């Protein structure tokens, strides 16, 4: 018994010593770690700091795009991304939960505010794998501040928001293919996902390196849940915002163009329409747009046509190319406007070139009349006189077949089809050889600018966001002198007669008070099988005009493809863009009408009771600008009445038998407004003097006899006021 007790004491002593030794070892280890801050070679302080160190991105603001007058076209605005926290550990007080506690209710409420089905939202909230938080894809991004506030007012536990920048386009559909748009592109860094705005087309893409900016970073210590700790240590790298672009567009002129294209799109439903307005002496683009188009904020309509038709689309220009054949012939001294030739057909080997009236021609006529009538045979004869080799050099001098170098993506170069005699002849009148709209505009500047050809450009300047200094400034650039000053003036003289002569194809483009020089074009379109399409509407109708003729300020080029014509000529939709845009732009730029211009007077027949299409076509032939009130097929009233005299280019109003609709009166004189009120029996109230800048009845709105029409008039030339008015009208329309 005694021996057993001794053994127990010895065992207890050994066990005590063992525990003491173990405690000593552990105590020594803890003491060592406390003193040195190291364990197994690792710096514990650094690793703890790393564990609770958070890094967040400080987003750079994308540069703003302004028009030439400083009006905003595209800018960053704040938007929000919604997220739902699912991890229960973030809730420390059950009475105030910080995570989603009721997925069913949460999904039901969120479905009212984001574009996602309730079932799909609930599925995300009940996601397997115990995620810390979930987001809702594109449906949960780009939320406005007003939507964010509405969701917050629902008091949903666990719902939080991440702030981010969103691109805002205040003018909506406004030079959309030119300006482009941005898209949030997913980027991953250090296991974290972020979304960066990236330009996808147009200026937003071409000038990405200037606009994008450089994000900053902030690093800070936090607790387990990511909240900032008291006495935290922060490291901040400030973001560098993007630079600001000033484009050459003038918002007022751009609005003139957009409105005109809207009207043509609604009335004629063309497959394609595009137009550009430029300063004749500099190549500066003041407006450009196309249809179909899209809204850069929502991208609605982008699926119809992604391509910038004014830059990327190459096409046969048709008879507008005759401008440059004429200029080359004048420069070579082979053009004599009074010389007689036989129109109708021209033989090229086994083939025949025909004039556009099925080869009937107009008998023996002068070359001047041939240009006025847009005779293909006249061009073929001029080509023969100067020889194809010489004209080939002029095509190169006018820089056809070469990109203009305008700083926009994917510019087409076009191609000069000139290998065989028939191709050489057809090129002289715009068939076979292809161009893009910028090439046509560039070549036209040589005619309008004393022989000096100006490169078209769209960027005025780029301004550094930090310093406010201009880092890029575009200056007008002469890219060639294909013809002399004398030839340019002579060409303008001939092109003026295309608009003023009795048989000129450009008569519908006459503008009262301004002498216009220009040329029409009707180009066949090529189908998918490579063959020319047939049918009345399967053409690209166009007009390129310069005004005032003696000292051109503006060049306006308009083209409309496959419009739905109702017994009308192809000039109808084109003139509905060219005439108001050229007239309103000249007035806005304070280019005063020439009071000495004597317009021819015309005497109208009685068209009441006749078909609307017949009356419209007859008015166009008279050189009168017909305003059609209503959608009826028959004319019930006309102002001025039959037998009264009016000037070429003046407005005449035709009232149809059904659904009277309001025209766009922007830029009209009070005299023309009175014609509409007299025709439709409206009561007129107006203020100011000059030309119409606003109207109370919406364009294409239904009219009733006795309805009150209120218009505001302003004198042209006050650019600042005009821009303010345009902005107010844009704000009201939104």
Complete DSSP assignment for 344-389? SEEEETTEEEE-TTTT---SEEEHHHHHHTT-HHHHHHHHHHH-HH
Q: Collapse the DSSP code of 616 into the 3-class scheme (helix H, G, I; strand E, B; otherwise coil) and give the result.
A: helix
Residue 210: strand, helix, or coil: helix
CB atoms inside a 10 Å sphere around CB 86: 20
Of the candidates 67, 94, 64, 85, the one whose C-alpha atom is nearest the C-alpha of residue 76 is: 64
DSSP character for 101?
A: S
- Please report, for residues 197, 287, 583, 613, 618, the alpha-carbon distance to residue 276 in angstroms, rounded to integers and kept in the order given: 29, 6, 14, 28, 28
Q: Based on the number of CB atoms within 10 Å of its own CB, is 257 exposed (0-12), middle (13-18) or buried (19 or more)? A: buried
Cis status, amide bond into 89, omega within 30 of 0: no
Distance CA 732, CA 712 (A): 15
**Which of 355, 272, 282 shows the shortest CA–CA distance to 314?**
272
Note whether 454 and 442 are within 8 A (CB): yes
How many Cβ atoms from other residues are within 10 Å of residue 547's Cβ?
28
Distance between CA 620 and CA 626 in Å, rounded?
Answer: 7
Handedness of CA 427, 430, 431, 437 (dihedral sign): positive
189: phi > 0 → left, psi -120 to 50 → alpha, else beta; which? beta
Catalytic residues: 319
CB-based contact 122:104 (threshold 8 Å): yes
Give me the sign of the Cα torsion angle 623, 629, 630, 632: negative
- Report d(CA 604, CA 618) in Å as an integer: 9
């Amino acid at each position: 018994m005694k021996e057993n007790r001794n053994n127990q004491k010895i065992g207890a002593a050994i066990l005590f010593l063992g525990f003491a030794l173990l405690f000593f070892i552990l105590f020594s280890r803890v003491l060592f770690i406390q003193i040195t801050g190291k364990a197994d070679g690792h710096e514990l302080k650094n690793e703890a700091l790393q564990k609770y160190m958070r890094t967040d991105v400080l987003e750079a603001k994308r540069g703003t795009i302004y028009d030439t007058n400083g009006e905003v076209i595209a800018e960053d605005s704040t938007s929000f991304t919604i997220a739902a926290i699912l991890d229960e550990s973030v809730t420390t007080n059950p009475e105030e939960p910080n995570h989603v506690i009721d997925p069913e209710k949460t999904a039901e409420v969120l479905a009212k505010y984001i574009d996602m089905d309730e079932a799909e939202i609930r599925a995300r909230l009940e996601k397997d794998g115990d995620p810390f938080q979930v987001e809702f894809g594109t449906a949960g991004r780009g939320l406005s501040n007003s939507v964010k506030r509405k969701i917050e007012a629902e008091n949903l536990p666990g719902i939080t928001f991440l702030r981010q920048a969103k691109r805002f386009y205040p003018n909506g559909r406004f030079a959309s293919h030119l300006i482009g748009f941005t898209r949030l592109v997913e980027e991953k860094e250090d296991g974290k996902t972020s979304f960066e705005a990236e330009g996808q087309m147009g200026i937003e893409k071409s000038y990405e390196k200037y606009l994008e900016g450089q994000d900053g970073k902030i690093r800070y210590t936090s607790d387990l849940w990511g909240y900032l700790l008291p006495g935290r240590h922060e490291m901040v790298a400030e973001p560098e915002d993007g630079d600001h672009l000033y484009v050459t567009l003038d918002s007022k002129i751009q609005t003139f163009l957009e409105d005109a294209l809207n009207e043509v799109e609604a009335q004629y439903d063309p497959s394609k329409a595009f137009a550009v307005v430029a300063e004749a002496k500099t190549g500066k683009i003041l407006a450009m747009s196309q249809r179909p188009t899209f809204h850069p904020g929502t991208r609605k309509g982008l699926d119809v046509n992604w391509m910038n038709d004014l830059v990327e689309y190459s096409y046969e220009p048709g008879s507008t190319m005759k401008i440059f054949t004429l200029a080359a012939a004048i420069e070579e001294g082979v053009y004599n406007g009074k010389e007689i030739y036989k129109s109708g057909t021209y033989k090229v080997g086994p083939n025949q070139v025909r004039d556009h009236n099925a080869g009937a021609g107009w008998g023996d006529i002068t070359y001047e009349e041939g240009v006025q009538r847009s005779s293909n045979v006249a061009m073929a004869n001029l080509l023969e006189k100067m020889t194809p080799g010489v004209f080939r050099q002029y095509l190169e001098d006018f820089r056809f077949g070469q990109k203009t170098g305008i700083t926009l993506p994917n510019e087409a170069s076009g191609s000069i089809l000139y290998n065989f005699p028939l191709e050489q002849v057809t090129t002289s009148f715009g068939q076979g050889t292809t161009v893009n709209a910028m090439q046509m505009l560039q070549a036209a500047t040589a005619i309008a600018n004393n022989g000096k050809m100006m490169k078209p450009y769209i960027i005025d300047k780029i301004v550094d966001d930090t310093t406010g200094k201009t880092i890029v400034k575009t200056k007008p650039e002469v890219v060639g002198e294909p013809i002399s000053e004398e030839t340019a003036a002579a060409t303008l003289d001939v092109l003026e007669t295309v608009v003023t002569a009795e048989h000129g194809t450009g008569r519908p483009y006459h503008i009262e008070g301004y002498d216009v020089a220009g040329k029409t074009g009707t180009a066949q379109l090529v189908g998918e099988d490579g063959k020319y399409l047939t049918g009345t509407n399967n053409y690209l109708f166009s007009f390129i005009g310069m005004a005032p003729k003696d000292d051109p300020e503006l060049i306006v080029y308009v083209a409309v493809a496959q419009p739905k014509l109702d017994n009308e000529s192809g000039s109808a939709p084109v003139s509905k863009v060219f005439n108001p845009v050229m007239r309103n732009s000249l007035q806005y730029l304070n280019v005063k009408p020439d009071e000495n211009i004597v317009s021819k007077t015309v005497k109208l027949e009685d068209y009441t009771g006749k078909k609307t299409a017949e009356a419209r076509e007859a008015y166009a032939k008279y050189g009168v600008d017909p305003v059609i009130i209503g959608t009826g097929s028959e004319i019930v009233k006309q102002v001025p009445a039959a037998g009264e005299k009016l000037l070429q280019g003046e407005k005449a109003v035709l009232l149809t038998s059904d659904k009277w609709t309001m025209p766009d009166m922007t830029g009209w004189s009070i005299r023309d407004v009175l014609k509409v009120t007299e025709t439709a029996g409206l009561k007129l109230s107006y203020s100011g003097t000059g030309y119409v800048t606003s109207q109370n009845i919406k364009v294409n709105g239904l009219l009733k006899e006795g309805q009150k029409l209120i218009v505001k008039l302003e004198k042209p030339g006050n650019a600042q006021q005009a821009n303010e008015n345009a902005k107010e009208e844009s704000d009201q329309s939104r």
